[in-house]
Amino acid sequence: MEDLGYVDAPYPFTPGVSVADVRQALQDTGLQAIGVTPEIYLRKFSRGAFTHPEAAVYGEALALMNERGARAGRQLH
């Protein structure tokens, strides 16, 4: 795909695939990550990732977005 230069990477990655693996795959294909999208549309967040009535679920969504997802995004750039 010669016209494709940027991709949006879903996070977390496939089990067993590290940020370094994704970064290398991007380099190998000449692509760049324009963003990292945390998977907050999973069943555990079906009652709302950021509006969930259980604090632990809400906290997990925040951690996924702010800590882990943002860290992965910084490492891909």
pLDDT at 15: 92
Structural domain spans, the chain: 6-76
Q: Which long-range contacts (CB under 8 A, 24 or more apart) does 60-66 make?
A: 64/11, 64/12, 64/38, 64/39, 64/40, 65/38, 65/40
pTM as predicted: 0.73
pLDDT by residue (tens digit) across 29-66? 999 999 888 888 878 888 988 888 999 998 988 888 88
